[in-house]
Structure 1
Amino acid sequence: MAMFPGAHNFGISHSNSIVRETHYHTEDIQMEIQPPGYIRGMTNCPRSTLAFTGRNEISESLEKFFLKTTFPTKQKVFLLYGLGGVGKTQTALEFKQRLSLKKRLTKIYFSKANTEQSIQASYFVIVIDNGIVQAQDWHAGIHWLHSNEESWFIIMDNADDPKIHLAKYLPSCGHGNIIITSRNPDLQDVAAQSLEVQNMVPTEGIQLLSEKAVGGPLTADQEKKVAQIAKKQRKRLSTYLERLQNLRKQILQKEIPQSSDGYPLSIYATSKLSWDELDSSPII
C-alpha cells in the first residue's frame, strides 16, 4: 500500500532551501468537513514585489532572530506591527526569500489571518498538502505542524482583529518559524520578539524613486531637487484635509454622471488632489 494514496510529482530538492510539494487528485480526498473559505492552494506563499527597496535594519533584525538566535526548545515567532500600508507584508515576503537561501526550510506557508475562517481554512490546506486524507477538520493541520519536528515557516498575514485569540492558532511546540504581520501591537504577547514597521526613511525613499522614476542612481542635482520637493510636500500635508474638503464641495456642485464602478466621490476627490499635486510639481 502506498504511503500517500493518490500522490504524484513528489520530489525533494538538494538545495539549501528544501521545499517539498505533494499534489493530490481532489477526487481521491474524502474529507468529511471542509471549513468555509477553503480554497485549494490558498497557502502558497507569493513573492515580494520586484520594486521592494530598503528595510535593511528590519531585515537584519529578522536575520539575527531566525538565524543567529538559539532557542533550543522554543518556537521562533516574530511580530511585525505597524500602520496599514507601511510595508509589513512585503517586508515579511522579502525576508522569506532571503531566509530560504540561507536556511533549510522544509515547508513554507502563507496564511491570511484577518479572520478565523481564513486561518482555519489555511490549516485545512496544510492537512491536504501533507497527505492526511482522513483528517476530520482544520485542527489536524496544527497537529501536523506540532508533531513534525521540521524547519517549517509560516507567514500569518494581517492578523489585525483583536477579537481573534491568535495564540490558539499557533502550534504549541518547540520548533518551527512564524512571522506575524499586524496593526495590533498587543500581539507582542504571543511573539518572542517584535518590531514596529514605520514609514520609509528618506534615503530609502530616494533609492526607490531613483530606481522606478529615472532607472538608476540620482545625480547630485537630482537628489537636491528631490529634497526640495519633499520639503515642499511636507508643508502641504498640514493643509491637506482642508484642501480635500474644499475639493469635495467643488465636485459635488458639478453634474457628474453616476459612476459605473461604484467609486464614491471621496475616492475621486483624493485621487484628483494627488494628480493635481503631481501636475504642479517640477520634473526631476
Structure 2
Amino acid sequence: MATDSERAAEEMVARFEGTSGMYFRFNVDQGMQNMQNGSWERLGEAMQHTKAYLQKGETTQKLEAAVRASIERRGVISTPHAAGKMSHDVDISIRLTGFKRCPAPTPFYTGREVENTQIIARITSENDKLRVCVVYGLGGSGKTQLVLSVIERTWDNWDHIIYLDASSTEAVEKGFEEFASAKNVGEGHKGVIEWLESCGERWLVVFDNADTPSTNIRQYIPARGRSGSVLITTRLPDLASLADGPDSVCRLSGMRQTDGVTLLVKIASSGNQYLSDNDTKAAEELVQDFGCLALAIVHAGAYIAHSRGMTIAEYRSLFLTQRQRMLEEYNELPVTAKHDGRGDTVYTTWRMCYDQLKPESRELLGLIAYLHYDGLSVDIFKRAAQQMHSKTYPLPLTDLESQAQNHIKQYLSTFLDSDGSWDTVKFARVMADLTSYSLIDYDRMNVVYRVHVLVHDWAKTAVSPTSRLATECAATLLSLSIDGNEDTESLAYKRQLGLHVTSMLMHNSNLGVNHLEYFKDVFLSTGQWSQAAKLIKQLLEVFQRELWDDNPKTWEAVHCLALTYINLGRYDEAEQLHIQELNACKRLLGEEHPNTLTSMNNLAMTYSDLNRWDDAGELYHKARNIAERTLGSQHPHTQGFRENLTRMQNKRQ
C-alpha cells in the first residue's frame, strides 16, 4: 500500500500537463483512510474496496482509455521531455503528437514460421532495388499479426518504420502527413514519398488492411529506394501484382492444425484456467470447426479466458448450436479482455467485403452457401443453365419449387448470350468479384472453387431470401444440372457432385421427390449404394401413392431399387422386387415387349447370384427365344441374353 501518494500524483499531473492520453491515475481511497502499515488482517477489506472501485463506471472508462492508449502506441511526447514538466510552447517539430507508432504483435503470437522466414528474407535482402512484399488472404487469417511479427523481428534493421492504416485514401495520406510533421521531412504525403526515394536511410513502409480497391495503393509506393522495403496486407489478391516477384507474395489461409490448437490453449488458459484432457481434445475439434482461422481461434480463446466458468469443451458445445452468436460474443467483452484494438469479429470483416460485392455476386454466394464448401465447379451452373428449359420432373411442381425454379432460371439467364449459349466471360466476371475479396478461392490443380468453412456458414446468414427458399434454390440448381444420360462425360460430372448432394440432404431432409429423382443418379454413379437405396425407397413410396402402380415411373423405381439391392448383396429382397416388376411388365406391356424381356433377364441374373441355376436358365432361355423371334438374332438384346446364358452355364460348371 503506497504512502504519500498524493504528492507523487501532483508531480505527475504537473509533469504531463497539457497532454492527453498520457497519464492515468488509479487510486482506491474509499475505506482506506484509517488503515495502517502492516494491517494484514484487513487485507480482505482492502480487496473489497478495490473491487468496488474497479466496478465504477468512471474507473472502467479510464481503464479502457489507458488500455487503448497502450495498444495504439501513439507518440504523445518526445523522450527528452518525458522526465520533466512539458512546456506549452514546445516547438511542434519536436513533438510526436498524432504520429501512429507501429503496434507490437500479440504476446500470444504462434506459428507461421515458414511465412515469417519468407518475408524477412525478402524485405532484408541485399540488392539495389526497392523490395515490395504482399501478404493477402481471407479476412481473419492473421495477415496483420504476421506482418507485426516480422517487424518485431527486424526492428533493428530500420532507421524509420512508417505504419499506415491503408483502409482508405484519407487514412494513408494522413499517416504520411503525420510522419512528415513528426520527422520534419517534406510537406504532405507526396513530400514523404519523395524523401523516402532519396534519403538513403533504411526504411520500412507498411500498408495495413489495403482492402479497398478505390484506394489505389500503387500511387503511394515509392518508385525507388535501395535501402527501403514495403509490406502490404490485403484481402485483394490483385494487389499481389505489386510485389517484386513470386517469392515476395505470401497467401494466408488457415493456420496449421497444431499451431491453431497451441494458440487456442495458450489464450484460453491465460486466466489460469485448468485444462482437462477433455478440453485438450475439444480444442483440437474446435480448431477444426473453425477451419484453423486465426481470428476465430483468438476470439474464442479470449472469450473462454474472460468467462471463468467456461471450458473449451463447453464453448464448442455452444458453438455447434449457436455459431454466429458465439463468434459475435467477442464484441461484448470489455476492452481489457480483447486482443486487438479494432475488435472486429470474423463476421464483421466479411460483411464489409460482402457490402462491396455486385448484386449478382451476392446472389451467387447465397447459392454456394447451401452447396458443399469444396469442389464448386463452373459446370454446375453451366449445365443447369443449358438444361433449365428442357427439364422434366416426375410430379407437378409445388408452389415453393415453382418459386425456386423461376428464381434460378431468371438468375442463370444473366449468364446466357443472345443466342441462349453459355457466356463464360460473364460468369467469370462474377466469380472474379468473389475471389477479389478472398471470400472464395480457386484451386487451379482441380479446376474448382472452394470457400472457407466459416465463410460458407456465415454466407447463409448474409443472403436475403428465407432459409427455406434459399435451400430450395440451391437444390433446384443442382437437380437442373443433372441429366439422365449415361455417357462418359455425364457420369464423370455426376461423380463430382457427391459432396454437394450429401450436404444438401444432410441440411434438408424434406426435399421433394422431384430433386431426389436426380440426386439418386449421383449416388448410383459413385457406387454409394446404401444412400441410393434410401432415396429410391422414398421415391417408390411417393410414386405408389401419387402415380399408382400402373405408372411406368413406379416400376422404374422398383427396377432401380432391385438393382441397387443386388449391388448391396441383398439378393432375396432384389428377387421379390424383380418378380413384382416382371409381373407388372407382363400386365402393362405384354410378354414380348423389350422392357418385359429385360425384366426377365434381370430376374434371371438374380437367380444366378443366388445359385438357383435351373430357375435362372429357364428365364434366360425364355427371354432369348422370344427376342430371337421378335427382335432377330442379331439384335443387341438377343445377343445380351445369349451371352448371359453362356456365362451362367460356365459359372455353374
TM (norm. structure 1) is 0.63
Q: Please report how far the alpha carbon of residue 146 of structure 1 lies from its aligned counterpart in structure 2 after TM superposition.
A: 1.1
Alignment of 1:89 with 2:144, yes or no, is yes
Alignment of 1:63 with 2:116, yes or no, is no
What do residues 183-216 of structure 1 show as CA deviations (whole Å, max 9, x unaligned)? 0111111111211111212101111123223469
The equivalent residue for 1:128 is: 181
Alignment of 1:49 with 2:100, yes or no, is no
Q: How far apart, in 2, do the equivalents of 1:180 and 1:240 lie?
A: 37
What do residues 77-112 of structure 1 show as CA deviations (whole Å, max 9, x unaligned)? 100001111111111111100112xx5310112100
Q: Please report how far the alpha carbon of residue 225 of structure 1 lies from its aligned counterpart in structure 2 after TM superposition.
A: 4.7
Q: What is the 5 A alignment of 1:142-221?
A: 142-175=193-226, 176-192=228-244, 193-214=248-269
Q: Please report how far the alpha carbon of residue 64 of structure 1 lies from its aligned counterpart in structure 2 after TM superposition.
A: 2.0
Report the identity percentage.
25
Q: How far apart, in 2, do the equivalents of 1:137 and 1:229 lie?
A: 48
Alignment of 1:110 with 2:163, yes or no, is yes
Q: Which has the higher helix share?
A: 2
Q: How far apart, in 1, do the equivalents of 2:122 and 2:224 lie?
A: 18
Q: How far apart, in 2, do the equivalents of 1:160 and 1:154 lie?
A: 17
TM (norm. structure 2) is 0.29
Q: How far apart, in 2, do the equivalents of 1:142 and 1:173 lie?
A: 10
Q: How far apart, in 2, do the equivalents of 1:49 and 1:195 lie?
A: 20
Residues 195, 152 of structure 1: alpha-carbon distance in 2 compared, 3 angstrom cutoff: same
Residues 240, 228 of structure 1: alpha-carbon distance in 2 compared, 3 angstrom cutoff: closer
AA aligned to 2:147 is A
Q: Please report how far the alpha carbon of residue 154 of structure 1 lies from its aligned counterpart in structure 2 after TM superposition.
A: 1.6
The equivalent residue for 1:98 is: 153
Q: CA RMSD in A?
A: 3.7
What do residues 130-170 of structure 1 show as CA deviations (whole Å, max 9, x unaligned)? 224xx443211111111101111121101111122211101
Residues 172, 230 of structure 1: alpha-carbon distance in 2 compared, 3 angstrom cutoff: closer
| 1:127–1:144 Cα contact (<8 Å) kept | no
Q: Please report how far the alpha carbon of residue 240 of structure 1 lies from its aligned counterpart in structure 2 after TM superposition.
A: 7.3
| 2:261–2:287 Cα contact (<8 Å) kept | no
Q: Please report how far the alpha carbon of residue 120 of structure 1 lies from its aligned counterpart in structure 2 after TM superposition.
A: 0.9
Q: How far apart, in 1, do the equivalents of 2:290 and 2:100 lie?
A: 40
Q: Please report how far the alpha carbon of residue 118 of structure 1 lies from its aligned counterpart in structure 2 after TM superposition.
A: 1.0
Q: How far apart, in 2, do the equivalents of 1:104 and 1:82 lie?
A: 27
Q: Please report how far the alpha carbon of residue 66 of structure 1 lies from its aligned counterpart in structure 2 after TM superposition.
A: 2.4
Secondary structure class of the residue paired with 2:149: helix
| 1:81–1:183 Cα contact (<8 Å) kept | yes
| 1:146–1:172 Cα contact (<8 Å) kept | yes
Greater length-normalized contact order (CA 8 Å, ≥ 6 residues apart):
1
Q: How far apart, in 1, do the equivalents of 2:135 and 2:188 lie?
A: 29
AA aligned to 1:191 is A
Alignment of 1:140 with 2:191, yes or no, is yes
Q: How far apart, in 2, do the equivalents of 1:59 and 1:155 lie?
A: 15
Residues 220, 64 of structure 1: alpha-carbon distance in 2 compared, 3 angstrom cutoff: farther
AA aligned to 1:124 is E
Secondary structure class of the residue paired with 1:138: helix
What do residues 42-70 of structure 1 show as CA deviations (whole Å, max 9, x unaligned)? 43111111111111121111122123x44
| 2:97–2:182 Cα contact (<8 Å) kept | no
Secondary structure class of the residue paired with 1:177: strand
Q: What is the 5 A alignment of 1:268-283?
A: none
Q: How far apart, in 2, do the equivalents of 1:51 and 1:227 lie?
A: 18
Residues 230, 142 of structure 1: alpha-carbon distance in 2 compared, 3 angstrom cutoff: closer
Flag structure 2 segments of 5+ consecutive residues without an equivalent.
1-76, 81-87, 292-316, 326-346, 349-457, 459-653
| 2:133–2:249 Cα contact (<8 Å) kept | yes
Q: How far apart, in 2, do the equivalents of 1:85 and 1:58 lie?
A: 16
Q: How far apart, in 2, do the equivalents of 1:240 and 1:148 lie?
A: 57
Residues 199, 27 of structure 1: alpha-carbon distance in 2 compared, 3 angstrom cutoff: same
Q: How far apart, in 2, do the equivalents of 1:70 and 1:91 lie?
A: 22
What do residues 206-262 of structure 1 show as CA deviations (whole Å, max 9, x unaligned)? 11123223469x89876445435556788x9xx979x869xxxxxxxxxxxxxxxxx
Secondary structure class of the residue paired with 1:200: coil
1:80 to 129, 132, 135: 135
Q: Please report how far the alpha carbon of residue 27 of structure 1 lies from its aligned counterpart in structure 2 after TM superposition.
A: 5.5
Kindly name which structure, 1 or 2, has the bigger radius of gyration based on alpha carbons: 2
Q: How many residues align?
A: 211
Q: How far apart, in 2, do the equivalents of 1:227 and 1:123 lie?
A: 43
AA aligned to 1:54 is G
Secondary structure class of the residue paired with 1:49: coil
